[in-house]
Amino acid sequence: MQLRTKKYFGTDGIRGTVGTPPITPDFMLKLGWAAGKVFAREGNGHNKILIGKDTRISGYMFEAALEAGVTAAGVNISLLGPMPTPAVAYLTRTLRAQAGIVISASHNSFEDNGIKFFSSEGTKLADEVEYAIEEQLAKTVSTVTSQSLGKATRINDAAGRYIEFCKSTVGSSLKFNGLKIVVDCAHGSTYHIAPNVFEELGAKVKAIGVSPDGLNINEHSGSTSPQILAETVLAEQADLGIAFDGDGDRLIMVNHLGNIVDGDEILYVIARDRRRQNIDFGGVVGTQMSNLGLELALDALDVPFVRSAVGDRYVMKEMLARGWNLGGESSGHIICLDVTTTGDGIVSALQALAAIVNSEQPLADLTSKMRKLPQSMINVKIGTAVDIATNNNIQSAVTDVESQLGKNGRVLLRPSGTEPVLRVMVEGEDLDLVDRLAQELSEVVATEVASPN
């Protein structure tokens, strides 16, 4: 059987540079029409699609194009304005829409943009639906009759609805009174939501990265650049800091010492708290890139741990297959399926803060039982595709490195999904040894799969 491939959809929607196909107004109009035609098949009469966006300047242009396309297909739309990606997932489900569309390039800078879709259940689209949209994209746009055109409305209380949902995920009795928190919204879509959530739960909040101008999203701020957050935590003598990315599905934290706490450590904190409260969450799903220290720390808690391919889509797939409720990535995508349907930065932060309050311990103490092992990553440029698994020289080198690392070390060779490089990662207990072995292994790999350029 021939494998089907997607022309536009990647692992997390469609993304690229604004003005470069397919991230163009004409394509977005057709994409809206194609999606409208596919989702119009579900149910009777006028269906409804929600559209939200982050704060980058091109969002206005693509929102208008999608609106034209969806309504031309005879489907109603509800405009949410700037709204975190997980908020669109939540509102799609609770407002009984057929689908949700997010205009965002997540943690990328303003020059990029993209489209993410959610199903009526608030989850990522199934492959079959993405195939159906791409099949529709190959057709010529046709407009329904005037009396059948879709209508556009705006949901003015969308932010308030989502704020109340976030607060509900930690229970009505939990209060953050006495906690001083710095919140960095990356000048992105959480700017008008996240500070309110934590303040309404009793925390004293210092908000930064809350002045979007369309061009500064993720600029020297947020989860991908938490240095200013760390400096502000120290300057304000805050208990901790919280950083989101531009669309609010990623979370990185900073403890009171100014040390960065990544997704692996946040997963550990949440898992530890659930185990302490005897809450059954099955186990934890990480990825190939998750630090070995997380695996060892969870093992000490007798919590099962498995790795999926890199990407929150694959984490989710593994969680659903196993019936587990907790998973995520080092980058800060945390999924708590017992409280929501997708990765949510604000909800994940609340789970971590609940652990701090429940344990009456600072974040630094809660992460102290997990020792992150040193990792060294080297990108090797590659030419044509090569089967690493059948290359005897590479496999021999990997075996040699693994024997030197011992049981508390590992090697990962992973082709990049976005650029022509092979990522060579070595992880172990001794930093100098890890660095040396990574360099030696990358040299072997470079010789075997060297790019002609």
Rg (CA), the chain: 23
pLDDT digits (tens, 9 = 90+) for 323-356: 999 999 999 999 999 999 999 999 999 999 999 9
pLDDT digits (tens, 9 = 90+) for 403-447: 999 988 999 998 876 678 899 999 999 999 999 999 999 999 999
* 368 in active site: no
pLDDT digits (tens, 9 = 90+) for 234-265: 999 999 999 999 999 999 999 999 999 999 99
- What DSSP letter does each residue of 85-143 carry, written as one string? HHHHHHHHHHTT-SEEEEE--TTS-TTEEEEEEEETTSSBPPHHHHHHHHHHHTSPP-P
pLDDT digits (tens, 9 = 90+) for 173-191: 999 999 999 999 999 999 9
Q: How far is the C-alpha of 56 from the C-alpha of 245, rounded, in Å?
A: 12
User: Which pLDDT band holds residue 1 (cuts at 50, 70, 90)?
Assistant: very low
Residue from 197, 186, 102, 198 nearest 159 by CA: 197
The separation between CA 378 and the C-alpha centre of its own chain, rounded to angstroms, equals 23
pLDDT digits (tens, 9 = 90+) for 49-73: 999 999 999 999 999 999 999 999 9
Q: How far is the C-alpha of 14 from the C-alpha of 24, rounded, in Å?
A: 12
- What count of Cα atoms within 13 Å lies in the side-chain half-sphere of residue 359? 22
Alpha-helix runs per DSSP H in 201-322? 227-236, 263-276, 292-300, 312-322
Q: Which of 106, 120, 189, 223 is catalytic?
A: 106
User: Which pLDDT band holds residue 34 (cuts at 50, 70, 90)?
Assistant: very high
- Specify the domain boundaries for CATH 3.30.310.50 within the chain: 375-449
Q: Does domain 162-366 have CATH number 3.40.120.10?
A: yes
What DSSP element (H or E) covers 428? none
pLDDT digits (tens, 9 = 90+) for 107-153: 999 999 999 999 999 999 999 999 999 999 999 999 999 999 999 99
Q: How far is the C-alpha of 208 from the C-alpha of 398, rounded, in Å?
A: 45
Residue showing tokens 């002045």? 211
Q: What percent of the chain has pLDDT over 70?
A: 96
Residue showing tokens 């309404």? 200
Q: How far is the C-alpha of 443 from the C-alpha of 299, rounded, in Å?
A: 34
Q: How far is the C-alpha of 12 from the C-alpha of 23, rounded, in Å?
A: 15
What is the assigned CATH class of domain 14-156? alpha beta
Residue pair 427/438 in contact by the 8 Å Cβ criterion? no
In the predicted structure, residue 2 carries a pLDDT above the cut 90: no
pLDDT of residue 419: 73
- Specify the domain boundaries for CATH 3.40.120.10 within the chain: 14-156, 162-366
Q: How far is the C-alpha of 59 from the C-alpha of 181, rounded, in Å?
A: 30
CATH of 375-449, one of 3.30.930.10, 3.30.310.50, 3.90.79.10, 3.30.360.10: 3.30.310.50
